[in-house]
Structure 1
Amino acid sequence: MSRPRPDFFYRLGNSQGVIAEVERGGTVTNNHDLKDIWKTHIAADAQHLFLIVPNSNWRESGLPRERPFLRVTHRMGAFFGDPRREIDVMTCHIFGYGRLV
């Protein structure tokens, strides 16, 4: 049985908490962002996700390979706003790190 563990968990109160996840290269290509939102959704004591993702991933040549931050903001936005797609996550805060293009 798989027991997903977050990078960081902070308890806010009785049955309430925040999960924080820091991602690197496989944020979008390996769907780590979607796994993190799912991990927060199934957690009994977490309703908030802080997702820290790279602004850009780089090729060996120094050119940007992909821009995970922009993709993740759109992908996470799909889970909020429409009652048919809502999940048991109240908020998802996305932070970008690293240099931009």
Structure 2
Amino acid sequence: MEGYKRHVKAHLPAGQRHEMDAVDELAERLHRHIEATKLEIAVLHVHGAQSKAIQDHFAKLLRLELGFAEEVVLTPQSGLVTHARPDFFFQLSEGRGVIAEVERGGTITNNHDLKDLWKAHVAPDAHHLFLIVPTNNWKKDGSPRERPFLTVSRRMGAFFGDPRREIDVTSVHVFAY
């Protein structure tokens, strides 16, 4: 699918394959939503726009239709002082869930994508990450400043595919808007 990249651990235990099916279904619905609302998103995603407008757009689907909770404080990792509070969280089962983060201007310039991956890695109740990022960020003159989707997709891929470099996140799904 164009505008979507999926990264999954190289070897999934049998019990997680069913969970992965549920996560893939959520991902498919999110991707369809992005495709169906491209024109609405284009009006919202302009130079100088507030990130909250983009997050509110995705909240309509994630919170109202798919059942994600908004800005839930996750269980802190033992030994770490963290109060991870993702944009959205979906509980798959007891102690297992999906974090969804909506990014905009600081996606790669401020490494928000890597911070979101770290959040999913250290949170004991988060095992999947949905990163919703711009295809392009814009300059004032309307030309592309950077292309977060391509960069984020490549960076996330570095943590998957080889058990030696994999982290404690079962899957990362990167969506372009």
TM over 0.5: yes
1:28 and 2:108 matched: yes
1:46 and 2:126 matched: yes
Q: Partner amino acid for 2:149?
A: F
1:81 and 2:158 matched: no
| Structure whose alpha-carbon radius of gyration is higher | 2
- 1:25-71 CA distance string (max 9 Å, x none): 00000000000001000010110001000000010011100000000
- What is the RMSD computed on CA atoms of the aligned residues? 0.9
Match of 1:12 in 2: 92
Q: Which runs of 4+ in 1 moved over 2 A?
A: none
Q: Distance in 2 between matches of 1:80 and 1:2?
A: 24
Specify every segment of 5 or more residues in structure 2 that has no aligned partner in the other structure, as ranges.
Answer: 1-80
Identity %: 69
Look up the SS of the partner of 1:86 in the other structure: coil
Look up the SS of the partner of 1:46 in the other structure: coil
Q: Partner amino acid for 1:21?
A: E
Specify every segment of 5 or more residues in structure 1 that has no aligned partner in the other structure, as ranges.
Answer: none
Give the aligned length. Answer: 97
Of residues 79-88 and 52-61 in structure 1, the stretch that sits farther from structure 2 once superposed is 79-88
TM-score, normalised with respect to structure 1:
0.92
Larger helix fraction of residues: 2
- 1:60 aligned to 140, 144, 151, which one? 140
